């Protein structure tokens, strides 16, 4: 998002600078570029006019006097004193030649920081006329500094405008990004306030409609699964009663085994829907004690589990739901993995639980599907191993509803590694 905002701002700045640059170039082409040449144009016309008037003076006019007809200009026997400005002298001579009145004028600086003096020879009288040059041209490089300052001001102003515009343009995208980042484990979006500009209101309204539809679809799916699981129990109960009247003991055993599996599937589906429908109340749970409690209970039942190093850190979770999730994971390691080893430690702001088993692992192309409902690595083992294939799906749902994550990978030394990360309770120090 930041990259998009910067791109939009850079595009706006470039567009503004390009337009101003083209407008400036067009103005310079029409008016002419600034510099000493433009500043002495009016002065050259004035000098030519006064010089012509001076050439009409009578021969007995004495140099050094002031004549009102010359607007206060002085007539001197020679050029005005002071250092001659060679650059400005050359520019003024060139401008006089350009208007068709070439004159060997001299520009000198009689008094520092005062207007410069132009001395013009009056050839017919043998005098020099001295007059002030009203404009003092800037240094040769001043025009470049002025242009640089002009462009800098444009760039800074355009950058400020571009930042404001890019923020307004990307604000709806920021809202979408924030809404997606806050999607809950149930797949629904939080309700957004429909405030702000027209684009913000339209975006918030569209996201709220999407959230409502997703929530409706999720609830419809849960009702469907729950209804199917519940409705299966009635015909299964009738089938179980009829199986008792089957004369062949082996056939009756097969019937009852199939009905037990159907019953497990229905119960697991109903439990999965319940976990999605309610997250339970959070409470502070000491992780080391909970792991010892679960592994001790399962060990008594004959599960091959080994509890290694643990942590005494606390997490804020729904205790009953988390116990059910961890029990499912431990049972999977003990039954499908030939035994498991459980360890727990803290990492940053999380408690990390590792469940490592001794089984053959899972093919890499199937790892991504382990949390899908009714997933089996080998469907032919469905009868040999108890369960409906919903244990991992239920565990994942519970862990994510409590703010954690779970990942499954094959261990470097073989077996399967289940990693569970749960956030520490708010006042727990991070490791």
Domain spans, the chain: 2-33+141-180, 36-133, 185-277, 279-423
| Average per-residue pLDDT for the chain | 77
What is the arrangement of strands in the sheet containing 405-410, beginning at the earlier edge strand? 305-307, 340-347, 350-357, 416-423, 405-410
Architecture of domain 185-277: Orthogonal Bundle (1.10)
The C-alpha atoms of residue 288 and residue 326 are separated, in whole angstroms, by 13
Contact status, residue 34 vs residue 138, Cβ threshold 8 Å:
no
Q: Which residue has the tokens 């490791």?
A: 431
Q: Report pLDDT for 384.
A: 46
> Which residues have C-beta within 8 Å of that of residue 231, sequence separation ≥ 6?
none
The C-alpha atoms of residue 220 and residue 34 are separated, in whole angstroms, by 76
Per residue of the chain (431 residues), what is the pLDDT tens digit? Answer: 667 778 888 888 888 888 877 877 777 666 555 555 556 777 888 888 887 877 776 665 555 555 555 555 677 777 888 888 888 888 888 888 888 888 888 888 776 667 778 888 887 666 777 877 765 555 555 556 776 787 788 888 888 888 888 887 787 777 777 777 777 665 667 777 888 777 778 888 888 888 888 777 766 666 666 666 666 767 777 777 777 777 677 777 877 777 777 776 666 666 655 555 455 578 899 999 999 999 999 999 889 999 999 888 999 988 888 888 898 899 988 888 888 999 999 988 899 999 999 888 888 888 888 887 666 665 544 444 455 456 787 788 888 888 899 999 998 888 899 999 999 988 755 55
Q: How far is CA 373 from the centre of its chain?
A: 36
Pick the CATH number of 279-423 from 3.10.100.10, 3.40.50.970, 3.90.226.10, 3.30.565.10: 3.30.565.10
Task: Give, in order, the Cα–Cα distances in Å from 160 to each of 10, 39, 166, 345.
Answer: 11, 35, 10, 49
Cα-Cα-Cα-Cα dihedral of 398, 399, 400, 403, to 10°?
Answer: 120
Report pTM.
0.47
**Assigned token pair, 37:** 């040449």
Give the gyration radius of the chain's Cα atoms: 47
Q: Which residue has the tokens 């119960």?
A: 267
Contact status, residue 110 vs residue 80, Cβ threshold 8 Å:
yes
pLDDT 10s digits, 184-213: 665 667 777 888 777 778 888 888 888 888
Contact status, residue 40 vs residue 105, Cβ threshold 8 Å:
no
Q: Which residue has the tokens 């299966």?
A: 232
Q: Report pLDDT for 230.
A: 63
Q: Report pLDDT for 321.
A: 83
The C-alpha atoms of residue 296 and residue 330 are separated, in whole angstroms, by 11
Give the angle 292-411-406 at the CA atoms, nearest 5°: 55
Neighbours of 72 (CB within 10 A): 10
The C-alpha atoms of residue 139 and residue 142 are separated, in whole angstroms, by 5
DSSP state, 196?
Answer: S
Q: Report pLDDT for 293.
A: 92
Checking 184-192 for CB contacts under 8 A at 24+ apart, the result is 185/397, 185/400, 185/401, 186/215, 186/218, 186/276, 187/214, 187/218, 188/214, 188/215, 188/218, 189/214
End-to-end Cα spacing for the chain: 32
């Amino acid at each position: 998002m930041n990259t998009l905002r910067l791109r939009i701002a850079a595009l706006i700045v470039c567009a503004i600078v390009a337009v101003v640059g083209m407008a400036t170039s067009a103005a310079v082409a029409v008016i002419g570029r600034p510099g000493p040449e433009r500043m002495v144009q009016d002065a050259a016309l004035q000098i030519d006019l006064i010089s012509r008037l001076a050439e009409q003076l009578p021969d007995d006019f004495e140099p050094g006097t002031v004549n009102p007809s010359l607007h206060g200009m002085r007539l001197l026997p020679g050029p005005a004193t002071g250092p001659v400005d060679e650059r400005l002298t050359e520019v003024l001579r060139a401008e006089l030649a350009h208007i068709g009145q070439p004159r060997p004028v001299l520009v000198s600086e009689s008094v520092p920081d005062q207007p410069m003096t132009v001395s013009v020879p009056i050839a017919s009288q043998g005098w020099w006329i001295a007059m002030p040059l009203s404009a003092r041209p800037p240094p040769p490089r001043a025009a470049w500094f002025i242009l640089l300052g002009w462009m800098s001001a444009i760039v800074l102003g355009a950058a400020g405008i571009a930042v404001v515009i890019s923020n307004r343009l990307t604000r709806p995208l920021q809202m979408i990004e924030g809404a997606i980042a806050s999607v809950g484990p149930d797949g629904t979006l939080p309700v957004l306030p429909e405030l702000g500009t027209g684009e913000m209101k339209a975006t918030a309204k569209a996201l709220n409609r999407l959230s409502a539809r997703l929530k409706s679809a999720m609830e419809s799916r849960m009702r469907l699964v729950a209804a199917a699981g519940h409705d299966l129990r009635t015909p299964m109960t009738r089938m179980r009663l009829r199986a008792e009247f089957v004369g062949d003991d082996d056939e009756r055993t097969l019937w009852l085994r199939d009905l037990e599996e159907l019953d497990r599937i229905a119960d697991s589906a109903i439990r999965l829907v319940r976990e999605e429908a309610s997250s339970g109340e959070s409470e502070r749970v000491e992780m080391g004690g909970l792991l010892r409690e679960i592994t001790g209970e399962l060990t008594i039942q004959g599960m091959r589990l080994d509890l290694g190093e643990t942590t005494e850190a606390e997490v804020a979770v729904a205790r009953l739901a988390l116990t059910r999730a961890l029990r499912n994971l431990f049972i999977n390691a003990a039954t499908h993995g030939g035994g498991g080893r459980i360890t727990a430690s803290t990492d940053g702001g999380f408690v990390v639980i590792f469940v490592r088993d001794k089984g053959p692992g899972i093919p890499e192309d199937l790892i991504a599907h382990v949390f899908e409902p009714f997933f089996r690595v080998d469907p032919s083992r469905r009868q040999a191993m108890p369960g409906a294939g919903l244990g991992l799906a239920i565990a994942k749902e519970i862990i994510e509803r409590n703010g954690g994550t779970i990942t499954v990978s094959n261990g470097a030394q073989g077996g399967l590694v289940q990693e569970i990360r749960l956030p520490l309770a708010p006042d727990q120090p991070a490791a």
